[in-house]
Amino acid sequence: MQAARLLEKGYSQAEVARRVGAHRQSVGQWAAELRAKGRAGLKQAGRAGRKPRLSPPELKKIEQGLKQGPEVLGYGTSLWTSARVAHLIDRECGVQYHPGHVWRILRQLGWSCQRPTGLSITHNVSTDYGSQFNVGESG
């Protein structure tokens, strides 16, 4: 509503964008809504961006799967890689994510990527496509 107040006071859209930290095009849309429908029109704005591909219950299923470990999926080690997490998401929810993007889901769940320590020289993770990270809860 700060943007609406500034627009109503006569500030330019560019100045409003600078002051509220928004893109000028967004402020232009807000200004048009404000002119057409008043402040009530601004309150009706829906969410910005694409809807999430995973629902909250699906995110819970993924977190439970992470806690059970990758061995449940048939992997021979307890090392979660991005490819393994993508496999878990696909298996549990039927949603395919590129291994390079699963970190977003992990971060949303409060988990972080951690470099593995103490891997044996004979451990070969090159057979598993994806980043080679341990996945652990943040905190």
Q: Does the pLDDT of residue 64 top 50, yes or no?
A: yes
Q: Does the pLDDT of residue 45 top 70, yes or no?
A: no
Residue 96, pLDDT score? 95
**Partner residues linked to 111 by β-bridges:** 137
Angle at 41 between CA 36 and CA 43, to 5 degrees: 160
Q: What is the DSSP letter of 101?
A: G
Residue 39, pLDDT score? 83
Q: Does the pLDDT of residue 42 top 50, yes or no?
A: yes
Q: Does the pLDDT of residue 19 top 60, yes or no?
A: yes
Domain boundaries, the chain: 2-43, 56-137
Residue 134, pLDDT score? 54
Query: Which residues in the chain belong to E strands, given as ranges?
Result: 111-114, 134-137
Q: Rounded to an integer, what distance in angstroms lies between the CA atom of residue 65 and that of residue 85?
A: 9
